[in-house]
């Protein structure tokens, strides 16, 4: 983070960001001057704004226009100036009441979380089903489909089930497949993908028959795939709400707005956020804010993410958060994401009956 601004510059920047978030209009210096209890002229405010523009915190679209925050300006605001807006007791009670109506229905919890986040912020929401921190084998079965074709059915520690068709090297009956599965289950129960794959490369792996090696490699691949989010694990809500924001209805030229909408919709529909989250954002707990160009993805340069991991550390976890224009109510977004994270933590701890939820943490930023 850059050097600390003077108190006067901080007040100007905070006022500018809050006003721009509220109105979606460039903020003139005359309006900012009214925010000071002691008279400071618009000319003095303009001089301070010019200095902040040189520092990359604000910019002007036109010489005579007001100022707009940059990504760096939003970052300074989030880290130094933002007031987190705590949810009222009424809001908390209403949210909990909705969850009590769908007790112990995990997919419904996820859908409801996405809906609540979206409605609270008029933004898009993305929530993933919780999954095991890493794919570990509970047990698997082999079902004969043909003399040299079998169905591999894998049950993981988080109770998810994966299946894939494998082609055997040699002819095998159902009895032979069942005996093979019994022996390999005993060896690999509780192992993750790397441990299973390593067994084939181990010198003692030469004792495996060709069919066993084929099954082991397929098992390792299935466990590895579990470490990546699948589209069916992701719940989204509120895209239409977000596209009703001024950024997509009236700000900029029509062709610019159309391109902004097209790239954003494509990114959400193709789930480009998930690799970004997994690759760029730490696994540790805490609400995290990613602003505009910080995503490293040009298609997402006009939006910000406020996200958090939820679940039981070392056991099961998922992501929840909101996607909205960089002109986002960050204090409100952090508060609602934090609250929904804590609520999902409690629900999962109760559902699984063991483990401690992710601890509360101060807001982290990427």
Fold of 7-81: Arc Repressor Mutant, subunit A (1.10.10)
Q: What is the pLDDT at residue 256? A: 80
| Integer Cα distance of 150 and 156 in angstroms | 19
The sign of the dihedral angle between the CA atoms of 255, 258, 260, 262 is negative
Q: Quote the tokens at residue 141.
A: 């079965």
Q: Residues 169, 170, 173, 177: is their CA dihedral positive or negative?
A: negative
- Boundaries of every domain in the chain: 7-81, 89-132+230-365, 137-225
SS3 83: coil
Q: What is the pLDDT of residue 358?
A: 54
Residue 19 is predicted with a pLDDT of 94
**pLDDT (0 to 100) of residue 40:** 78
Burial, 9: exposed, middle or buried (Cβ in 10 Å; 0-12, 13-18, 19+)? middle
The whole-angstrom separation of Cα 278 and Cα 342 is 21
Kindly calculate the radius of gyration of the chain based on its CA atoms and give it in whole angstroms: 26
Domain 137-225 has CATH 3.30.390: yes
Q: What is the DSSP letter of 363?
A: -
**Cβ-based neighbours of 168, under 8 Å, separated by 6 or more:** 148, 149, 150, 211, 214
Question: CA-to-CA distance for 275 and 281, rounded, in angstroms?
Answer: 10
CA angle in degrees (0–180, nearest 5) for 64-66-71: 130
H or E element: which one contains 67?
strand 67-69
Residue 115, C-beta contacts closer than 8 angstroms, at least 6 positions apart: 125, 237, 238
> Residue-wise pLDDT tens for the chain (366 aa)?
568 999 999 999 999 999 999 999 999 988 888 877 666 788 889 999 999 999 999 999 887 789 999 999 999 999 999 988 889 999 999 999 999 888 678 889 999 999 999 999 999 999 988 877 677 899 999 999 999 999 999 998 777 788 899 999 999 999 999 999 999 999 999 998 889 988 887 776 568 899 999 999 999 998 887 766 677 788 999 988 988 888 888 877 887 888 888 888 887 877 777 766 766 566 556 899 999 888 777 778 888 999 998 988 777 888 899 999 999 999 999 999 999 999 999 998 888 765 555 554 445 555
pTM: 0.78
What sign has the CA pseudo-torsion 69, 75, 81, 85? Answer: positive
Q: E strand or H helix at 17, and its extent?
A: helix 7-23
CB 264 within 8 Å of CB 256: no
- pLDDT value, residue 165: 95
Give the pLDDT of residue 172: 94
pLDDT at site 85: 86
CATH number of 89-132+230-365: 3.30.450.40
Confidence (pLDDT) at 316: 80
Residue 362: its pLDDT value, please?
Answer: 47
């Amino acid at each position: 983070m850059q050097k600390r601004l003077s108190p006067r510059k901080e007040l100007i920047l905070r006022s500018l960001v809050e006003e721009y978030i509220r109105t979606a209009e460039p903020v003139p210096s005359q309006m900012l001057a009214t925010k000071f209890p002691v008279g400071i002229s618009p000319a003095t405010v303009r001089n301070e704004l010019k200095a902040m523009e040189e520092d990359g915190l604000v910019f002007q679209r036109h010489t005579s226009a007001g100022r707009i925050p940059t990504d760096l300006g939003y970052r300074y605001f989030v880290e130094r100036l933002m007031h987190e807006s705590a949810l009222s007791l009424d809001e908390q009670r209403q949210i909990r009441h909705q969850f009590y109506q769908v007790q112990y229905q995990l997919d419904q919890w996820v859908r409801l979380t996405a809906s609540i986040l979206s409605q609270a912020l008029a933004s898009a929401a993305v929530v993933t089903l919780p999954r095991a921190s890493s794919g570990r084998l509970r047990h698997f079965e082999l079902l004969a489909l043909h003399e040299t074709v079998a169905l591999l059915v894998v049950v993981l520690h988080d109770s998810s089930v994966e299946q894939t068709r494998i082609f055997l090297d040699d002819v095998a009956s159902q009895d032979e497949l069942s005996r093979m599965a019994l022996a390999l289950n005993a060896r690999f129960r509780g192992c993750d993908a790397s441990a299973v794959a390593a067994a084939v490369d181990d010198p003692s792996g030469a004792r495996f028959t060709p069919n066993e090696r084929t099954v082991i490699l397929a098992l390792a691949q299935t466990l590895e795939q579990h470490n990546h989010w699948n589209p069916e694990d992701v719940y989204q809500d509120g895209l239409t709400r977000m596209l009703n924001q001024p950024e997509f209805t009236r700000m900029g030229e029509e062709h610019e707005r159309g391109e902004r909408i097209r790239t954003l919709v494509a990114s959400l529909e193709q789930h480009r956020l998930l690799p970004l989250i997994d690759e760029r954002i730490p696994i540790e707990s805490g609400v995290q804010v990613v602003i505009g160009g910080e995503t490293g993805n040009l298609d997402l340069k006009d939006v910000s993410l406020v996200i958090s991991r939820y679940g039981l550390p070392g056991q099961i976890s998922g992501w929840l958060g909101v996607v909205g224009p960089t002109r986002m109510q960050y204090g409100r977004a952090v508060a609602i994401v934090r609250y929904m994270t804590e609520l999902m933590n409690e629900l999962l701890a109760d559902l699984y009956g063991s483990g401690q939820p992710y601890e509360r943490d101060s807001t982290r930023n990427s």
